[in-house]
Chain A
Amino acid sequence: MSTELSTLNKTYGDEDFDRFYAVSRYLIQVGQLHTAEVILKGLTAVRPDKALGWLGRCYLHAFQAEFEELLDAARQGLKAEPRDVGLRIFLIIGLFALGDIAAAGTELGEVGELLELSPPEDAAVYRLYKSQLARYQNQR
Chain B
Amino acid sequence: MTTDRSPLHPDPFAQAPFFCLLPDRITSLSLESSRPALFARLEHILAMRSNTSGLDRDQEKNLILEEAMLRELLQFSETLAEQKRGTS
Binding site for B on A (CB under 8 A): 1-2, 4-5, 8, 11, 16, 18-23, 25-31, 33, 35, 38-39, 41-43, 45-46, 52, 55-56, 58-59, 62-63, 85-86, 89-90, 93, 122, 124-125, 128, 131
Contact = CB atoms under 8 A, between A and B. Distances in A.
Q: Is the interface of B mostly helix, strand, loop or mixed?
A: helix
A11 to B, nearest CB: 6
A25 B22 contact: yes
**Interface size, B (range):** 35 or more
Nearest to B53: A1
Contacts of A46: 62, 65-66, 69
A1 B54 contact: yes
Given A20-B73, A22-B29, A23-B29, 13 more contacts: A19-B31, A26-B29, A29-B11, A30-B11, A41-B69, A42-B67, A45-B62, A46-B62, A56-B22, A59-B19, A93-B18, A124-B20, A128-B21
Contacts of A28: 13-14, 19, 22
Contact of B9 (A2, A30, A45): A30
B70 A22 contact: no
B46 interface: no
A2 to B, nearest CB: 6
Q: Is the interface of A mostly helix, strand, loop or mixed?
A: helix
Interface of B: 1, 5, 9-14, 16-26, 28-29, 31, 34, 37, 41, 44, 48, 51, 54-55, 59, 61-62, 65-70, 72-73, 76
Contact of A122 (B13, B20, B65): B20
Contact of B59 (A5, A41, A63): A5
B26 A59 contact: no
